[in-house]
Amino acid sequence: KLAVNASSAGQPIPDTLFGIFFEEINHAGAGGLWAELVSNRGFEAGGPNTPSNIDPWSIIGGESYLDVLTERASCFNRNMVALRMDVFCDSSGANICPQEGVGVYNPGFWGMNIEKGKTYKVVFYVKSSGSLNLSVSFTGSSGMPILATAKVIASASDVSDWSKMEVLLDAQDTDHNSRLQLTTTQKGVIWLDQVSAMPLDTYKGHGFRTDLVEMLVEIKPRFIRFPGGCFVEGEWLRNAFRWKETVGPWEERPGHFGDVWMYWTDDGLGHFEFLQLAEDLGAAPVWVFNNGISHNDQIATSSVLPFVQEALDGIEFARGSINSKWGALRASMGHPEPFDLRYVAVGNEDCGKKNYLGNYLKFYSAIKQAYPDIQIISNCDGSSQPLDHPADFYDYHVYTSANDMFSRNHRFDKTSRRGPKAFVSEYAVTGKDAGGGSLLAALAEAAFLLGIEKNSDVVSMASYAPLFVNSNDRRWNPDAIVFNSSHLYGTPSYWMQRFFTESSGSTLLETTLQAISYNALVASAILWKNSEDDKSYIRIKVVNFGSSSVKLNISIIGLDPNSLSGLSKTVLTSSHVTDENSFAQPNKVAPLKTPLEVAGNDVVFELSPYSFTSIDLLKQ
Ligand code: AHR
């Protein structure tokens, strides 16, 4: 029996309780959420040295037709490497170029998704020894068929120095595994740099892949933590994410090699874009910055001030007036209004490292002095004992087995009610219980989140991790959303989070569960107001983490029986607890919503084995 007490005032749940954590891991951003189709667009992926690694660019045409190399010849002095093509063949004469031309192609991040009827903007920088006659095309993965093409023709004087070109390509056909080609049939030397291709229909025109953002919109996240994770730390400090390298015109950003997750990012998705994404989602940005500590090296506290200044400047970039140095840069990027940055985290998983506390205190006092309202998150876990340093929140991460995650629905029951609040910024069931994202994992996580709802007087924020995986580069398993160039699906853990979309800012109702000798049930109830229709709703959520089906009698206390009407019952379950979703079966484990007739305050439900059920009632 589950008794829900709707007569007392209940406990307010923080507005920020459920959000998301975006990390540049698994090609979540580069080749994912950031809609740039070209991989290694600046030919910089090999680092500052030449010849640099032009991978995944490849050459079209044999040695007798052209030679391709990289040179430090760019017009951008923070990313000097450019591509040089010496074309020996011509449209006539002794060495005639093949009809399809010679040049280079880029397959994107495991194939570009080009869709019929859509328009794509290709931008590149070019310099030439003579006049220019270049074909810009999207083609199939072998160079055929041509899906969209345009010619870029310029006189020698127009391209004797670096010149920016823009082409709009209208796709005549669809291919999820396309490539971008730049080809010519004319002799001469051509230099190329910063070759970008983007669909025109990005989310709100801000450069984000629409289908992926829409999955986030459906979670209604109240905050977004970014950009990592270990990505912020780096194996070595020289490879850490440093925000100043990621702002300003995209062509001028140097890009960097993320040495934890082992891939190059051109940082098109930079500090500005993360703040923009937060704003577009209506989520509070939570910025994690590097605190002078990586996995393998650390800055001494006595030398950490440049990092502190970098953090202060990053806050000024987000919030400063357009008359401030960094606020002016933000304005020049198209956002004169400040972003609503109110939360920052000093590093990631660095508590206990030699310089953490010393460095943390430097950041804390400088930020509080300059921005007293900014809430600061410490890496040290304060859930079992009080922190020995000042903080507004402490970070709590948990990756564990399903049984352990289930039992953690009591994790914060005994946490001190005084002091900083918990930010559960990373949680997930991992290992064999989770596979690539199982129902079992999602149910255990649901129980954990129900415990968080009940303890939301001491837990203010929670987010699953990791959020995204490009299926071609699974660095971490499982993840909430799996995608490739054109398709995506949510794992059960993604769908589980959808049950909590109304919880942030709602009221927790007191619940008492009497389940004689069956300890696999966890439940909670909330009262929430829908601003769209101004009506109040009760949502009761129950996890059955056991193999028996359960008859549950729900009794709602303190309400006139005529004031309640049943709306819907939503269930997340499947025939096997190990079931997962896939590209072939994206909805094998997905919530099933059915209408619900309820008369009176006592309702009996059958809870399937291994299931998560939400019961929605309208309160008149
Ligand atoms: O979520 C994956 C990784 O797990 C994060 O980068 C790190 O913070 C944690 O160890």
pLDDT digits over 372-413, tens only? 999 999 999 999 999 999 999 999 999 999 999 999 999 999
pLDDT digits over 248-271, tens only? 999 999 999 999 999 999 999 999
Q: Is 279 a catalytic residue?
A: no
As a 3-state breakdown, the chain gives helix, strand, coil percent values, each rounded to 5, of 20, 35, 45
Q: Outline where 433-476 has alpha helix (H).
A: 439-454
Report the alpha-carbon angle 474-478-483, nearest 5: 55
The confidence band for 324, taking pLDDT boundaries of 50, 70 and 90, is very high
Q: Given 349, 445, 502, 510, which residue is catalytic?
A: 349
Average pLDDT in the chain: 96
* Residue corresponding to tokens 């564990």: 400
Instruction: Please report the atom of ligand 1 found closest to the CA of residue 348.
Output: 8
At residue 318, φ and ψ (nearest 5 deg) are: -75, -40
pLDDT digits over 88-109, tens only? 999 999 999 999 999 999 999 9
Q: Looking at ligand 1, which residue's alpha carbon is closest to its atom 5?
A: 229
The confidence band for 137, taking pLDDT boundaries of 50, 70 and 90, is very high
Ligand 1 centroid–CA 230 distance in Å is 6
* Contact predicate 419/387, CB 8 Å: yes
* Structure tokens, 230: 């270990």
- For residues 379-395, one letter each, b for 16 or more C-beta atoms within 10 angstroms of the residue's C-beta and e for the rest, the string is bbbbbeeeeebebbbbb
pLDDT at 561 over 80: no
Residues 450-464, mean pLDDT to the nearest whole number:
98
Q: Looking at ligand 1, which residue's alpha carbon is closest to its atom 7?
A: 229
pLDDT at 601 over 80: no
pLDDT digits over 476-502, tens only? 999 999 999 999 999 999 999 999 999
What's the complex ipTM? 0.99
pLDDT of residue 599: 67
Ligand 1 centroid–CA 345 distance in Å is 14
Probe residue for ligand 1, chosen from 20, 21, 25, 225 as the CB with the greatest number of ligand atoms within 8 Å: 25
Count other C-beta atoms under 10 Å from residue 440's C-beta: 26
- The secondary structure of residue 471, as a DSSP letter, is T
265 closest CA partner among 470, 484, 7: 470
Provide the sign of the torsion angle of the four alpha carbons 337, 338, 339, 342, taken in this order: negative
Instruction: Please report the atom of ligand 1 found closest to the CA of residue 260.
Output: 6
Probe residue for ligand 1, chosen from 22, 230, 232, 468 as the CB with the greatest number of ligand atoms within 8 Å: 230
pLDDT at 53 over 90: no
The confidence band for 86, taking pLDDT boundaries of 50, 70 and 90, is very high
Question: Which residues have CB under 8 Å from 199's CB, separation 6+?
Answer: 35, 37, 115, 118, 119, 120
Residues 23-27, mean pLDDT to the nearest whole number:
98
Q: Which residues line ligand 1 (CB under 6 A)?
A: 23, 25, 228-230, 348-349, 426, 465-466, 476
Query: Measured between alpha carbons, how far is 275 from 13 in angstroms, rounded to an integer?
Result: 25
Q: Is 246 helix (H, G, I), strand (E, B) or coil?
A: helix
Ligand 1 centroid–CA 316 distance in Å is 27
Region of 212 please: left (phi>0), alpha (psi -120 to 50) or beta: alpha
Probe residue for ligand 1, chosen from 291, 476, 477, 479 as the CB with the greatest number of ligand atoms within 8 Å: 476
pLDDT digits over 305-320, tens only? 999 999 999 999 999 9
pLDDT of residue 418: 93
List beta partners, residue 256: 265
Query: Measured between alpha carbons, how far is 545 from 407 in angstroms, rounded to an integer?
Result: 11
pLDDT at 172 over 90: yes
**Beta strand segments in 129-238, E:** 132-139, 146-154, 163-170, 175-184, 188-199, 223-226
The confidence band for 518, taking pLDDT boundaries of 50, 70 and 90, is confident
Ligand 1 centroid–CA 260 distance in Å is 10
The confidence band for 436, taking pLDDT boundaries of 50, 70 and 90, is very high
The confidence band for 559, taking pLDDT boundaries of 50, 70 and 90, is confident
Determine the number of helices (DSSP H) and then strands (DSSP E) in the chain. 9, 34
pLDDT at 600 over 90: no
Which residue segments constitute the domains of the chain, with CATH numbers given?
Answer: 2-13+506-619 (2.60.40.1180), 20-32+202-498 (3.20.20.80), 58-199 (2.60.120.260)
